[in-house]
Structure 1
């Protein structure tokens, strides 16, 4: 009797690889881990998975190029290749007779763009819009220049959707409800949190650190408070996103493991989608959506990044974060400052993504929420007014300065896209307007540079600050300097952009 041949799999889970045991490659957890009651710990090396998929896509692209070359050479011999039947690839009929969309990796192209829009899509494969200020458009422009392309401009047609069929809906990876409460080993969890507060929080101060850390510490204690299931889900979803962001900056974690852990934490945080997000009026949901957008910036999921920020903005407007409401909020300094931080994070992400993707700004001028104060979380008071000690530089310096810088970016983007289709005599008048705009922007940028707190200025002179906080201040200096360089660059593009 012939024995059954063992089925080979491309990738075993990390647990089975460490134990050198047989793995069936099952998702979300393999049979071996299920038998050992380790289903929640069954993870796969995402880097290896991504590499396999990447090489597969390269092979498919090479085959398409070979077929195209074959068609070109065959045309000289009047050989005609059969055309595909219209609609043939749109759906397939399984045995049960139900039509199911034919899902293929190629349909993910629009969602596999780097969230910073730094990947050039293959011709005729992009299904999303990337405008002229986007990195993709800029790189295409450079590519055309190197190839000696006769086209002098990169028109909107080259960056707009050409796919007649939108990307198919894909199932969302939501882990089991019990997995949401699975925490890393304590020392690892503490490291991930520390990295988040050091590297991410100064950029996007979405959480009130004392309150968040108090809830975090309670997770390790016996449960005594009657917290509801929804409150648990909200906090644990936030916490998993914090872990996903923090672990990517942890130097004590192997780089190959960082991506795997971050993906695992992110997928756990998506348990929130089981609730009515669209009907929510809670700032906590806005926090979660903004954290999701910030995390997706570091992934290849551009659409998730863009859409999460957009939904967060709409929810923020629906609960009035775009307006100062002293009568409703009262004198609670923590609440006032957190509302301001949430709204201005919406503003920063909206302007950053509009520039990155070359798409319209979502937020106009109909808002009056003040820029957050230069005061750290631990000095905010629920009753009374706390102040920042004069001898301690505020960690909010980078964010507050970035808010002012991105106000200038918003106006630069508006000028960049204004009058793009002008023709004839309007071009001359438009050029005069652009010249005036550029001079105005340069003056505003100079004023912004002068308004930066001294401890965040890139001074060439001797350092005057020597303290334990100097490390994070140096990092904030560098980030703010990079963002300051960004605006003059776009300002220059405004001058040289074609009409």
Structure 2
């Protein structure tokens, strides 16, 4: 295993001892770092700091002259920049920090850091506030733990960046990939003796962003020690969090919004549901504060305008995804006035002129725009996010209309996203694997929304079978037949979804995401519940081999996503409960099953045992977080 992927171990470096404490710290018996002329403790408390005369160490005049010259040079270089202050690890360590290693950072030992530390007391520096700031005003400095200002070894970092670019970016193109790569290359400058590199707030945002990118890349790099994926991804996340916490963004920029969106993406792989929901909320508020939601023309380059559109729609898209998974209320957005991004890939978005996508080259960004259309249905189906015990005929009609919209989107996919077995151009191209990935991602998203819309009918049918003796049911009516047909649509969707996810496990590059996991769970639950309805069970031989396939899909996500084992246990328990109910009821006899799906609400059946598996929960009780999290980022 490359060393850069390994989580750290070993003792933390010992604190460097000082020769003499100041008088105040000595009297109060508090820790003193011995810094001259004012120690950190006294500086923080704003009190006078004095040292005994016999402890004052004489500094040669030549040394003072050298420091003065270097400070003068730094003042000139830092004109128009914002300070980033290096602080000792013991002063900045997060109690929940799982950074990738605990050894002294090479960056921390450079002359640049020593001088930047000295600049803490150089209040006369004239720093101006740049447009892209971090979390402080122009007069303040930012404390940064320099242990977090680093990346893995170059070879390891290259692998993780490529994993992000091939498996994460095509599904959620939040960043401008050429800009990311160029910034990444600048993080590896050639070693030059005496070279002093100043750190700005933009550097801190970049380091934090790259670490989140590395975390997402690691989760999707299943070919290298998959058992370590979550642990090592978490280490990158904690390092980014140690550099930039979301609640510390006082002056948002496009870059900080992108960072918040990437953080949301990462948190979707974890059981930190509340933190994920709060993160996307912060991304949206930060985007609104810089007017990304206004739809106004941006007086800038083609690249700036397109990225502003892309980032705003990413905010809306991710919020709708998060809310659909967690059963939360979507923020009330009117139809966005921000136009969709143009179907132009990153390499054609220029700074100095306007370029167009070549007509013979399908754009990667097309799949993103299609996903936006898919999740617009969530806005029109907000009332159905939490499954109902009973749908009226009018509500059922609305559900079927929304399902038809999904059919239309699926049927109108462009050629390069419709056929995922060979190139749309007849020859194998480097981008074909990415188009395969995008096809699968789109189909999973369609399946997720479809099951979200239709599963209430399956649940209602299962409840009626459990609660009502078949012989007492009324003759079928038109509404009953409509409900049964809706159940058939839902079961077919669940079967197709599991087949798609099973096929995805053997693809060149796989979709490994929370939505794939949740959709597999939802589809398997539909099939198990549908097996309680005799006509559906007999027609589709439920649950059949699809249940085992769904369990296999969940198992293949166990190294990437928290809570897979819990999800498998819930499904298996649900299957056991359904089998017990069927055994108690025996083989159903009497009128056709169409009479089971009555157009009336069903009584509470909690006492029967089936609904120990809470089918009214938005995630079908898929809540793996046992504690309520505080919004501490």
Give TM-score scaled by structure 2 length: 0.48
Give the Cα–Cα distance (whole angstroms) in 1 for the partners of residues 268 and 159 of structure 2: 22
1:386 match? 355
Specify which of 414, 425, 437 is matched with residue 453 of structure 1: 414
2:442 match? 480
1:173 match? 97
**Does structure 1 retain, via aligned residues, the 8 Å contact 2:294–2:338?**
yes
2:274 match? 303
1:216 match? 184
Q: 1:277 to 1:434 in 2, by over 3 A?
A: same
1:332 match? 301
Shift of 1:343: 1.1
**Which digits, 9 at most, give the CA deviation of each residue in 1:100-139, with x for residues without a partner?**
xxxxxxxxxxxxxxxxxxxxxxxxxxxxxxxxxxxxxxxx
Give the Cα–Cα distance (whole angstroms) in 1 for the partners of residues 353 and 271 of structure 2: 44
2:400 match? 439
Shift of 1:465: 4.0
1:204-353 equivalences under 5 Å are 204-222=172-190, 228-273=199-244, 277-326=248-297, 329-353=298-322
1:105 match? none
User: Number of paired residues?
Assistant: 333
Give the Cα–Cα distance (whole angstroms) in 2 for the partners of residues 374 and 207 of structure 1: 15
Shift of 1:226: 6.5
**Does structure 2 retain, via aligned residues, the 8 Å contact 1:412–1:490?**
no
Give the Cα–Cα distance (whole angstroms) in 2 for the partners of residues 493 and 225 of structure 1: 61
Q: 1:256 to 1:174 in 2, by over 3 A?
A: closer
Q: 1:459 to 1:198 in 2, by over 3 A?
A: closer
Q: 1:259 to 1:369 in 2, by over 3 A?
A: same
Question: 2:375 aligned with 1:406, yes or no?
Answer: yes
Question: Which ranges in structure 1 are unaligned for 5 or more consecutive residues?
Answer: 1-13, 19-26, 38-169, 422-426
Q: 1:283 to 1:472 in 2, by over 3 A?
A: same
Q: 1:236 to 1:490 in 2, by over 3 A?
A: same
Secondary structure of the corresponding residue to residue 370 of structure 1: coil
Q: 1:377 to 1:227 in 2, by over 3 A?
A: farther
Q: 1:274 to 1:496 in 2, by over 3 A?
A: closer
Shift of 1:453: 1.5
Give the Cα–Cα distance (whole angstroms) in 1 for the partners of residues 208 and 299 of structure 2: 29
Give the Cα–Cα distance (whole angstroms) in 2 for the partners of residues 413 and 363 of structure 1: 10
Specify which of 357, 364, 382 is matched with residue 333 of structure 2: 364
Shift of 1:333: 1.2
Shift of 1:192: 0.5
Give the Cα–Cα distance (whole angstroms) in 1 for the partners of residues 379 and 165 of structure 2: 28
Give the Cα–Cα distance (whole angstroms) in 2 for the partners of residues 200 and 259 of structure 1: 16
Q: 1:287 to 1:476 in 2, by over 3 A?
A: same
Question: 2:2 aligned with 1:34, yes or no?
Answer: no
Secondary structure of the corresponding residue to residue 286 of structure 2: helix
Give the Cα–Cα distance (whole angstroms) in 2 for the partners of residues 465 and 295 of structure 1: 36
Give the Cα–Cα distance (whole angstroms) in 1 for the partners of residues 244 and 98 of structure 2: 8
**Does structure 1 retain, via aligned residues, the 8 Å contact 2:421–2:436?**
no
**Does structure 2 retain, via aligned residues, the 8 Å contact 1:397–1:456?**
no
1:111 match? none
Give TM-score scaled by structure 1 length: 0.60
Q: 1:34 to 1:403 in 2, by over 3 A?
A: same
Shift of 1:273: 4.0
RMSD: 3.3
**Which digits, 9 at most, give the CA deviation of each residue in 1:186-231, with x for residues without a partner?**
1111110000010111121111111111111111114879754312
**Which digits, 9 at most, give the CA deviation of each residue in 1:327-347, with x for residues without a partner?**
xx1252111111111111111
Give the Cα–Cα distance (whole angstroms) in 2 for the partners of residues 464 and 30 of structure 1: 54
Q: 1:181 to 1:384 in 2, by over 3 A?
A: same
**Does structure 1 retain, via aligned residues, the 8 Å contact 2:267–2:275?**
yes
Q: 1:388 to 1:36 in 2, by over 3 A?
A: farther
Shift of 1:461: 9.5
**Does structure 2 retain, via aligned residues, the 8 Å contact 1:415–1:437?**
no
Give the Cα–Cα distance (whole angstroms) in 2 for the partners of residues 465 and 400 of structure 1: 25
Shift of 1:450: 3.1
**Does structure 1 retain, via aligned residues, the 8 Å contact 2:145–2:243?**
no
**Does structure 2 retain, via aligned residues, the 8 Å contact 1:438–1:495?**
no
1:135-214 equivalences under 5 Å are 171-173=95-97, 177-214=145-182
Give the Cα–Cα distance (whole angstroms) in 2 for the partners of residues 442 and 276 of structure 1: 39
Q: 1:299 to 1:457 in 2, by over 3 A?
A: same
Give the Cα–Cα distance (whole angstroms) in 2 for the partners of residues 412 and 275 of structure 1: 30
